[in-house]
Structure 1
Amino acid sequence: MEHTTNYQLSQWETTDRILMEDFNSDNVKIDAALKSQADAIAAKAAQSALDTVSGQLAAEVAQRQAADTALENQVGLKLIKTVDVPSGSGSAQVSLTDLAWGSWKTVHMLLHLPMRDGHTVMCYLNGNTDASVADATGDTRCLVSFFPMYNVELPTAGLLLGRGNETFSFWEIPYKNASYLQLVALNSNDVIPEGSQVVFYGEK
């Protein structure tokens, strides 16, 4: 008796005996093949459904992340950078070129210059002694708020909150040209102390 190529099912010839065992054996083979095919189809369908759900979930996560980022960019304070000011000399520079003035409504600068009592550090915009934005005396902290209002063409202007509240405005220095702060110890014998730090926050 011959058998089929793929599943080895019985193929009788006229001279072969027809036995129940051969039918039963063929039925087992057919049942196993159909079950295997059904399992493969079900697995493929399940994987397709899983891929669809995973894709939908990934899209939802991406949408939520985009919404969170948009909300973060619209409200609240965002840390721009923290600068540890070099110590040991009578002056130091803090760069402003990476603040992206045009991206902010307000930029807040927190100064901590732990000087000795009665000793002062001046803070000059672009090193211009006629453009003082802050002076820190003793171990104090002061806050300087700049108001670029998303426009780098505006003159650099702001408010100092510290020992006394003061405003400043430098028409000759627009924000696009405000490139650094020069910190200078007022007493020629003083140096910038260790632990001096300048922190910048942006507000949309």
Structure 2
Amino acid sequence: MASQQTPNYKLSRWAGTDRIMMEDFNRDNAAIDAALKGNAEAVAAETAAREAADTALGKKAGLQLIQTLTLATGSDYASAEINIDWSQWAEVYVVFQLEYKGSMKSYNLYFLPNDDYLVRTAYSTHVGAVFHPLFNENLYIEGTTFSGSAITAGTLYKDITGIGLSLTASSGKTAVISSGTTVKFYGRK
């Protein structure tokens, strides 16, 4: 029989002169089994509670900001890289705010690398659009501007690398992008 016990689970510890008994091993194995089962149940309960909380939070969160791009200033053209995992989103909203100096006639806003237009020949300085990757980056770009115009392109979501903006100045004038020009991407799961 063991003359000593471990401090936490009171498992058998033998000294050199102790007689080793099968009952000691059986009792120790039963204590270890019960402790492991209790730990596994606690982990499973914590995981279930966390997943339920994540689900509840996701329902409350609504739109989540994915990325904000600030476009370069001082020119009539700017571009920026987009880092979106389209397969993670059912819908992606693009909100564009243009700030410029000079006399602008119109502008074009498009996805790169294929110049797939989000907005073509626009005049308003604030534009929005919603796209529907539906958790599948292998779908072709499809969406709608907030004003109701359809957006379609022969480019897959996964192939989008960036966004471009080009201004057209009024005849004989100049127009340049100024500070505060942003593109924000929001996602909905």
Match of residue 54, structure 2, among 69, 85, 100? 69
TM-superposed CA distance for 1:59, in Å, is 9.1
Ranges in structure 2 where 5+ consecutive residues have no aligned partner = 1-41
- Describe the SS at the equivalent of 1:70: helix
Within a 5 Å distance, the mapping from 1:158-197 to structure 2 comes to 158-161=143-146, 164-171=147-154, 173-187=155-169, 189-197=174-182
Aligned residues: 144
8 Å contact from structure 1 (residues 115, 137) kept in 2: no
Structure 1's 154 and 59: CA in aligned 2 closer, same or farther, altered over 3 A?
Answer: closer
Q: For residue 65 of structure 1, report the CA deviation from its aligned partner.
A: 4.3
Classify 1:149/1:108 alpha carbon distance in 2 versus 1 (closer, same or farther; 3 Å). same
**Mapping of residues 41-80 of structure 1, within 5 Å:** 64-73=49-58, 76-80=62-66
Q: Root-mean-square deviation (CA), in Å? A: 2.9
Residue 97 (structure 2) pairs with residue 112 (structure 1): yes
Matched with 2:185 is: 200
After superposition, the C-alpha distances for 1:52-86 in whole angstroms (9 at most, x for unaligned) are xxxx7x99777544433233345611111222222
**Given the two structures, how large is their TM-score scaled by the length of structure 1?**
0.60
* Other structure's SS at 2:56 match: helix
Question: Which of 145, 157, 160 pairs up with 2:142?
Answer: 157
Contact 1:113 1:121 in 2 (8 A): no
Please name the residue that 1:121 is paired with.
107
Q: Distance in 2 between matches of 1:167 and 1:184?
A: 20
Q: What's the TM-score once normalised by structure 2's chain length?
A: 0.64
CA distance in 2 between counterparts of 1:127 and 1:92 reads: 13
Give the structure 1 partner of residue 29 of structure 2: none
Unpaired stretches in structure 1, ≥5 consecutive residues: 1-55
Identity over the aligned pairs, expressed in percent? 24
SS in 1 for 2:55: helix
Q: Which amino acid aligns with 1:86?
A: A
Is structure 2 residue 52 aligned with structure 1 residue 85? no
Compare the two structures and name the one with the higher strand fraction.
2
